[in-house]
A and B are shown apart, each in its own frame.
Chain A
C-alpha cells in the first residue's frame, strides 16, 4: 500500500501535471547523474544516461504498478541504462569498485596521527588529536561549499553512496537496493566517503 502522498504524486504525473514532473526531476536528477557515473566513464555520458532515464520513466509510467516506491523504480531504470551504456562503451569491469571495495585499504585517518602499536603506554591512541569545530566556522565552511567539493572529488561509487545516504537522506536499504550493493559494501563505501569529507573539513577548519 502506497502512502497517500506517493499515490497523489503518481496520479499527478499520469495526468500530465508539469509541476509534479519538474519537481520529481529537480529532486532526483543530480543523484541520477552521480549513480550513472559509477558505471559509465564520464560525467557527460552520465548526464545523457540520466536524460535517457527520464524518457524511460515516461514510457513506463502507465505500467508502473507501485510495488516499489517511485524513487526506487526511477533509480533502477538509471542503473540498468547506465550498465547497458557501460557495456557498449567497452567498460568491462565498471562495477568492481562496488563489489570489492575492501581490496585496497583506505584508513579513515592517516596512521601517522596515532601512536605506534608498540607504544608502551597508549598503542593506537591519538598522537595528533582532532580539534573541536566551532559552529560558526562550520557554517563558514558550509557557505564555502567545502563538503560539496569534497563529495565531488570522491571516487564514483563512494560519491554515489554518500550522495544518496547523506545528501538525499535515503535509508541504507534503499541505497543497497538501487545500487545492488550488499549492506557491508554499502557501509564500507559510506565510511570511506564520510571519512574523506571529514578530512576535507578538518583541512579547511584547521
Chain B
C-alpha cells in the first residue's frame, strides 16, 4: 500500500457515483477506487447491473402517441405552410 492510496470506497459512496462512472466523468483516482470496490463487492455489482437494466428498459419505452386531433391540426398547419 502506498501513501497516496485513498481510503477504500464504501457501497453507499459507490451508489452515488454510478452515473458519473457510466458517463466516464470520474477522475482517474475516483475511477480506480470505484473499480477496486466493484471488483470485490458482489452486491454493488448487482446494483450497477440494476442501473444498467433500468437504462435498457427506459430505452425501450415508446414515446407517447400524439392524439389524432393534435396530429390533424399539425398536418393542417404543415399543408398551409407549404401551400
Question: What residues of chain A have their CB less than 8 Å away from a CB belonging to chain B?
Answer: 16, 18, 21-22, 25-27, 29-31, 33, 47, 51, 54-55, 58-59, 61, 107-109, 111, 114, 123-126, 129-133, 138, 141-142, 145, 147-148, 151, 162, 166-169, 172, 183, 187, 190-191, 194-195, 197-198, 201-202
Asked if B46 and A58 sit within 8 Å, CB to CB, the answer is no
B-side interface size class: 35 or more
CB distance from B63 to the nearest CB of A (A): 4
Which of B11, B15, B54, B61 has a CB less than 8 Å from the CB of A201?
Answer: B54
Q: Quick one: given A18-B78, A138-B53, are A130 and B47 in contact (CB under 8 Å)?
A: yes
The residue in chain A whose Cβ has the minimal distance to the Cβ of B70 is: A51
Known: A111-B12, A197-B58. A16 touches B19 (CB 8 A): no
Residues of B within 8 A of A27 (CB): 63
Judge whether B63 and A131 touch: CB under 8 Å: no
Given the known inter-chain contacts A130-B46, A148-B61, please indicate yes or no for A125 contacting B77, CB distance below 8 A.
no
Inter-chain contacts of A59 with B (CB < 8 A)? 81
Secondary structure call for the B interface: helix
- In Å, the complex CA distance between A130 and B18 comes to 15
| Contact of B54 with A54 in the complex, beta carbons under 8 Å | no
| Proximity bits, B35-57, A CB within 8 Å = 1, else 0 | 00000010110110111011101
Chain B proximity of A62: nearest CB distance (Å): 9
Scoring B60, B64, B74 by chain A CB atoms within 10 A of each residue's CB, the highest score goes to: B74
CA distance A194 to B11 in the complex (A): 17
Across the two chains, which residue of chain B brings its CB closest to A132? B46
Q: Are B12 and A114 in contact (CB under 8 A)?
A: yes
CB-defined A-B contacts under 8 Å, sample of 10: A16-B82, A21-B78, A25-B74, A29-B63, A58-B81, A124-B12, A125-B12, A145-B61, A167-B61, A201-B57
Residue among A107, A166, A187 with max Cβ neighbours from chain B (10 Å): A166
List 16 additional contacts besides A138-B57, A166-B59, A190-B23; criterion CB under 8 Å.
A16-B82, A22-B71, A25-B71, A29-B63, A51-B73, A59-B81, A108-B18, A114-B11, A125-B11, A130-B43, A133-B50, A147-B57, A166-B55, A167-B58, A183-B25, A194-B55
Residues of A within 8 A of B60 (CB): 142
User: Is A124 touching B73 in the complex (CB atoms < 8 A)?
Assistant: no
**Given the complex of chains A and B, what is the CA–CA distance between A109 and B18 in angstroms?**
12
Given A16-B82, A22-B75, A194-B51, check contact A151 B58 (CB 8 Å): yes
